């Protein structure tokens, strides 16, 4: 399929190392995909769902110990330890040691199995954003997922030509032994190695491993950014053009939901429309016009299933109605369809849960795993942007940060300028979710929602943000905001209705970008006047909105102290001076 010597050598090396019975190159054709689906159904690796209700849809269960990303078993393997991540949950390992471990664990791992070679592109093939990867795997499930999440096939090899470079990925399921599970990145070799897992973010190597951890390194070198961000377009009757926004929220904190938002009725009636460009990852470059342009390197959605329903996210639900793989949700034997918590108000009377056990509504267990997911083709999404396949990407008017904070952080605020906005990104904290293994609901620092995804030293990554701002033509930087949909009242209830109603906040954000609305200057940045957040026909009262927009200086003084300690403990004197200057301003403002 190719005469690229580097590709051929890589495939040969993997074959010699893993010793498969046979090697299959994935060409991206429907015929090959259909044959693989049949083969995986025959072995029980996937289950064919009701093809009338869910055409082209399949079901898969992972091992019970293999249901989320393993952040503490994820490594950046580069020569110099100082180049890798002080503070990140991701760890450093010397490449030599890492390769030796892989040798020990995975040599001969494909014996008796088939080795699949997946040529794929992150980004529209031929666009200046796009990068080619080759993933080697022994899992048909991985092949089928990659065929949805990325652009797979011969055109990627054509793009490489005889001499092109690519990101190498090697995945081996081995025995899905959690004690020998490692997700390793070698930025100096553009290589990813993943062993002993068969779950999403650990094994779909184009996603977090390539498009974030390796790509942050490429972006640092080449002058662009790889971010854990959704991208959406908003069409408003008052604007001449569609405005684009990118937003970074940690895992399971609302990116897919915001990216596919359906505005409340009065906005729809007025002609508002939200268009989804991406729901998880953004690659961002300075365009020829001096603005920042963003593209989504993925081709599908690997979305959280529980909570997705016709009310919360009808667009995502619609996207899963064909050609989708469901992982670790519940099976409804009645009609061979799927179910997960909150899909319908009432649960079906009888299900097979995500572990394969009988399930009834009163059994006291979840039917779907909290991190169960759908892998759906982006083209299925009713609100997919007409720019989705644009080679140029889309120009950004605003960048939004946000996390899960029960207290302190208001519904929305705007930073004073790019460097202050970068600071706002560095101080993000968010409560942990089921997207990674470990405790849920623990508040942790998660700068730019990138804590588990930075491929190099965190302080250098902050510096890169400062540098990128300076590369954008003066006055053309996107405005930077912070949002929090997750503030709670004394009883632990969310105070803001969220989902479609987030349009009301987006509207204020875009008005700020357009200079159409005043804001109040506070200790932390610009906040909306309550009157400027439209809560007509919204399930919230004015007093609650006031609370959501209140900046409690005492709390923020504590927050600033905590941030100062966090910086000192983790970055010492390596923190960029622009960030420290903004911390000083915050401290002073809170006195
Ligand atoms: P990853 O795919 O892990 O990166 O997650 P994500 O950031 O795309 O999160 P997603 O949109 O899938 O939402 C995760 C969870 O947050 C779901 O349970 C949603 O129901 C919930 N959620 C999303 N948006 C909102 C919101 O505006 N308010 C509230 N209260 N919950 C929300
Ligand atoms: C996330 O955890 O942020 C995800 C899912 O988007 S995974 O692909 O597992 O990383
Ligand atoms: Mn994500």
Q: Where are the alpha helices (DSSP H) in 302-361?
A: 314-319
How confident is the model over 24-39, as pLDDT tens digits?
A: 999 999 999 999 999 9
Measuring from each residue's beta carbon to the nearest atom of ligand 1, which residues come in under 6 Å? Answer: 249, 251-257, 279-280, 303-304, 306-307, 312, 435, 485-486, 494, 498-499, 502
Torsion of CA 567, 573, 576, 580, to 10 degrees: 60
CA of 109 to the centre of ligand 2 (A): 26
CA of 228 to the centre of ligand 2 (A): 10
The residue whose C-alpha atom lies closest to atom 10 belonging to ligand 2 is 201
264 lines ligand 2 (CB under 6 A): no
pLDDT band at 572 (very low <50, low <70, confident <90, very high): confident
**Structure-token pair, residue 438:** 């470990």
Which residues are catalytic, by number? 253
Average pLDDT over residues 560-579: 94
The residue whose C-alpha atom lies closest to atom 18 belonging to ligand 1 is 307
Q: What is the pLDDT of residue 87?
A: 65
Q: What is the pLDDT of residue 84?
A: 79
Give dist(CA 133, CA 65) in Å, integer.
Answer: 28
CA of 250 to the centre of ligand 3 (A): 7
pLDDT at 8 exceeding the cut of 80 = yes
3-state secondary structure 19-83: CCCEEEECCCCHHHHHHHHHHHHHHCCCEECCCCCCCCCEEECCCCCCCCECHHHEEECCCCHHH
CA of 236 to the centre of ligand 1 (A): 24
Question: In this structure, are residues 190 and 167 in contact, taking their beta carbons and an 8 Å threshold?
Answer: yes
Whole-model pTM? 0.98
Q: What is the pLDDT of residue 83?
A: 80
Ligand nearest to the CA of 451: 2
Q: What is the pLDDT of residue 85?
A: 73
426 lines ligand 2 (CB under 6 A): no
Average pLDDT over residues 448-458: 95
How confident is the model over 232-252, as pLDDT tens digits?
A: 999 999 999 999 999 999 999
33 lines ligand 2 (CB under 6 A): no
pLDDT band at 90 (very low <50, low <70, confident <90, very high): confident
Q: In angstroms, how far is the first alpha carbon of the chain from the final one?
A: 66
Render 105-166 in DSSP notation, one character per residue: HHTTTTTTSEEEEEEEEESSTTSTT-EEEEEEES-HHHHHHHHHHSEESHHHHHHHTTT---
Q: What is the pLDDT of residue 86?
A: 65
How confident is the model over 389-430, as pLDDT tens digits?
A: 999 999 999 999 999 999 999 999 999 999 999 999 999 999
Q: What is the pLDDT of residue 82?
A: 80
pLDDT at 476 exceeding the cut of 70 = yes
229 lines ligand 2 (CB under 6 A): no
CA of 22 to the centre of ligand 1 (A): 41
Nearest to 41 by CA among 325, 359, 350, 373: 325
How confident is the model over 117-174, as pLDDT tens digits?
A: 999 999 999 999 999 999 999 999 999 999 999 999 999 999 999 999 999 999 999 9
Average pLDDT over residues 451-467: 95
pLDDT band at 219 (very low <50, low <70, confident <90, very high): very high
Write down the mean pLDDT value for the chain. 97
Count of positions (residues) in the chain: 591
69 lines ligand 2 (CB under 6 A): yes
pLDDT at 360 exceeding the cut of 90 = yes
CA of 201 to the centre of ligand 3 (A): 8
Which atom of ligand 1 is least distant from the CA of 303?
2
The residue whose C-alpha atom lies closest to atom 28 belonging to ligand 1 is 498
Question: In this structure, are residues 6 and 165 in contact, taking their beta carbons and an 8 Å threshold?
Answer: yes
421 lines ligand 2 (CB under 6 A): no
How confident is the model over 513-525, as pLDDT tens digits?
A: 999 999 999 999 9
Give dist(CA 468, CA 223) in Å, integer.
Answer: 7
Which atom of ligand 1 is least distant from the CA of 373?
2
């Amino acid at each position: 399929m190719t005469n690229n010597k580097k590709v051929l050598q890589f495939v040969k090396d993997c074959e010699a190392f893993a010793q498969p019975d046979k090697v299959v190159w994935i060409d991206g054709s429907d015929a090959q995909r259909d044959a693989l689906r049949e083969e995986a159904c025959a072995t029980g690796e996937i289950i064919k769902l009701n093809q009338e209700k869910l055409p082209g849809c399949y079901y898969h269960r992972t091992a019970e110990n293999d249901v989320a990303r393993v952040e503490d078993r994820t490594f950046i393997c580069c020569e110099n330890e100082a180049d890798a991540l002080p503070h990140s949950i991701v760890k450093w390992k010397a490449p030599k040691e890492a390769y030796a471990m892989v040798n020990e664990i995975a040599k001969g791992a494909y014996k008796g199995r088939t080795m699949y070679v997946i040529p794929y592109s992150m980004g529209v093939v031929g666009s200046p954003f796009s990068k080619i990867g080759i993933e080697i795997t022994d899992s048909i499930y991985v092949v089928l997922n990659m065929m949805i999440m990325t652009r797979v096939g011969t055109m990627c090899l054509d793009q490489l030509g005889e001499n092109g470079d690519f990101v190498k990925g090697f995945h081996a399921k081995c025995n899905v032994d959690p004690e020998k599970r490692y997700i390793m990145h070698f930025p100096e070799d553009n290589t990813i190695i993943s062993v002993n897992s068969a779950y999403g973010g650990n094994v779909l190597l184009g996603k977090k491993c390539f498009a974030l951890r390796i790509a942050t390194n490429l972006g640092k070198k080449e002058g662009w950014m790889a971010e854990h961000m959704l991208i959406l377009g908003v069409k408003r009757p008052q604007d001449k053009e569609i405005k684009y926004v990118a937003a970074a929220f940690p895992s399971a904190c609302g990116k897919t939901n915001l990216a596919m938002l359906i505005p409340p009725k009065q906005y729809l009636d007025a002609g508002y429309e939200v268009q989804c460009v991406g729901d998880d990852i953004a690659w961002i470059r300075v365009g020829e016009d001096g603005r920042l342009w963003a593209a989504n390197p993925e081709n599908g959605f690997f979305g959280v299933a529980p909570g997705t329903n016709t009310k919360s996210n009808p667009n995502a639900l619609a996207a899963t109605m064909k050609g989708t793989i469901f992982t670790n949700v519940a099976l409804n034997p009645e009609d061979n369809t799927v179910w997960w918590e909150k899909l319908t108000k009432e649960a079906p009377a009888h299900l097979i849960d995500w572990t394969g056990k009988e399930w009834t509504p009163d059994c006291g267990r979840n039917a779907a795993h909290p991190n169960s997911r759908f892998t759906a083709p982006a083209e299925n999404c009713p609100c997919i942007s007409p720019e989705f396949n644009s080679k140029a990407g889309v120009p950004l008017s605003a960048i939004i940060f946000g996390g899960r904070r029960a207290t302190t952080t208001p519904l929305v605020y705007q930073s004073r300028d790019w460097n202050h906005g970068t600071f706002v990104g560095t101080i993000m904290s968010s409560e942990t979710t089921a997207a990674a293994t470990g405790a849920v609901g623990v508040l942790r620092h998660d700068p730019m929602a990138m804590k588990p995804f930075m491929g190099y030293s965190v302080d250098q990554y902050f510096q890169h943000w400062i540098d990128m701002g300076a590369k954008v033509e003066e006055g053309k930087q996107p405005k930077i905001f912070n949002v929090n949909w997750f503030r709670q009242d004394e009883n632990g209830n969310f105070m803001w209705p969220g989902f479609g109603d987030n349009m009301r906040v987006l509207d204020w954000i875009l008005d700020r970008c357009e200079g159409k609305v005043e804001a109040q200057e506070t200790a932390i940045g610009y906040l909306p006047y309550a009157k400027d957040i439209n809560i007509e026909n919204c399930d919230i009262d004015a007093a609650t909105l006031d609370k959501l927009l209140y900046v409690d200086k005492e709390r923020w003084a504590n927050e600033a102290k905590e941030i100062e300690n966090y910086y000192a403990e983790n970055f010492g004197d390596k923190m960029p001076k622009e960030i420290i200057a903004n911390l000083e301003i915050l401290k002073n403002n809170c006195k």
